[in-house]
Chains A and B, each alone.
Chain A
């Protein structure tokens, strides 16, 4: 299957390519050619593409340590996307909305978003500085993991749930409750940005839950035996 056809069928795969640090000009390469050229296993690439296409990862082969290190790079890259692209974009739309409209709720809405954004940044920093290094240590067979650290994987998925719930709140407030007159262009842009973010966050946590954490847990089990 050619990569260009896959993108045509689901443009969200562009985001996946970006997180894998693959250029969008994929020419006529097939998935296999693309993976070989980039040193990514087809197993991993197809598993993640399946998540983006709405399928589970069932039936995949076990992931290698090399795969999991690439997963971590992938997740880190998506952090950069949230941190320096998506959240600032949403933030600027909300700012604009607040400036254009006198409704006082919008001031609170901006405050809500800013607090939420700060929480997200804290969480991303936590993953980058605590959770990911933990997994990297786990994958490095030379080093033994100290007991107790195991719990960071659990803690880390709980954080994520929180991030998605507040995003849900924000969407619901805008869709159902907060009254804003007109300004449909700006509001549509805001909605699209929120949905894009929500979609990628969803895949992000699926990758963690269906690839990273289970693999981490089985490595933990092996090492403890």
Chain B
């Protein structure tokens, strides 16, 4: 989802020449995305996050009804913090290899839940999202807002995470998340 033809065609070339083995289609608005999702399975949405501005609710809705959709944001250096709306981001100056690597990571995340299960001590996708928020130092309230769920639900997810991993403290969970490659160590301040 990007209105610039230069950017779209550049990304398309990178993706098609890679071994990702996927098809790319270009859309310009969220409405077009909704229409497309009705008929086509979309694994990864690569989007200019500027198009998300003031549309947070719509995006959450789309993500809710398409739980396997991952979102990669193109980082133009304008939006400082990685938005919770995107799963991952890259900049236009990243090498082609880096961009492919980033997308591959997303693809792995997308793989069947059973595969995800065995890798992460049966944490559900939602629990992994809550864990990622926790590890990034977000408060329960902030996680609730970002994921569009109640604080009560966040607390329940946290309890489940602890029950499944055996780790209670936030700093302990950070190490867990890194060991399990749920987050990258580079993202954590040491």
Q: Residues of A with Cβ closer than 8 Å to B?
A: 104-105, 107-109, 111-112, 115, 165-166, 168-170, 172-173, 176-179
Contact of A108 among B165, B167, B168, B190 (CB under 8 A): B190
Interface assignment of B40: CB less than 8 Å from any CB of chain A: no
Q: Which of B55-63, B105-113, B147-155, B178-186 contacts A (4 or more CB under 8 A)?
A: B178-186
Contact with A along B160-190 (1 / 0, CB 8 A): 0000011111011011101110000100101
Known A-B contacts A104-B185, A105-B185; A173 and B168 likewise in contact (beta carbons under 8 Å) = no
Q: Are A105 and B168 in contact (CB under 8 A)?
A: no
Q: Residues of B with Cβ closer than 8 Å to A?
A: 165-169, 171-172, 174-176, 178-180, 185, 188, 190
Q: Are A108 and B174 in contact (CB under 8 A)?
A: yes
The SS class assigned to the B binding surface is helix
Q: Are A169 and B172 in contact (CB under 8 A)?
A: yes
Give A111 to B188 CA distance when docked, in angstroms.
12
Q: Are B172 and A178 in contact (CB under 8 A)?
A: no
Q: Are A178 and B179 in contact (CB under 8 A)?
A: yes
- In this complex, the member of A111, A166, A169 whose beta carbon has the largest number of chain B beta carbons within 10 angstroms is A169
Q: Other CB < 8 Å A-B pairs besides A173-B167, A176-B166, 12 of them?
A: A105-B175, A105-B178, A107-B190, A108-B174, A108-B185, A109-B175, A112-B175, A115-B171, A166-B172, A177-B175, A177-B176, A178-B175
Q: Are A112 and B179 in contact (CB under 8 A)?
A: no
Q: Could you list some 8 contacts between A and B, CB below 8 A? A: A104-B178, A108-B171, A109-B175, A166-B168, A166-B169, A168-B166, A173-B179, A177-B179
Q: Are A177 and B180 in contact (CB under 8 A)?
A: yes
Give A107 to B112 CA distance when docked, in angstroms.
33
Contact of B178 among A108, A166, A170 (CB under 8 A): A108
Give A179 to B45 CA distance when docked, in angstroms.
33
Q: Are B172 and A173 in contact (CB under 8 A)?
A: yes
Q: Are B185 and A170 in contact (CB under 8 A)?
A: no
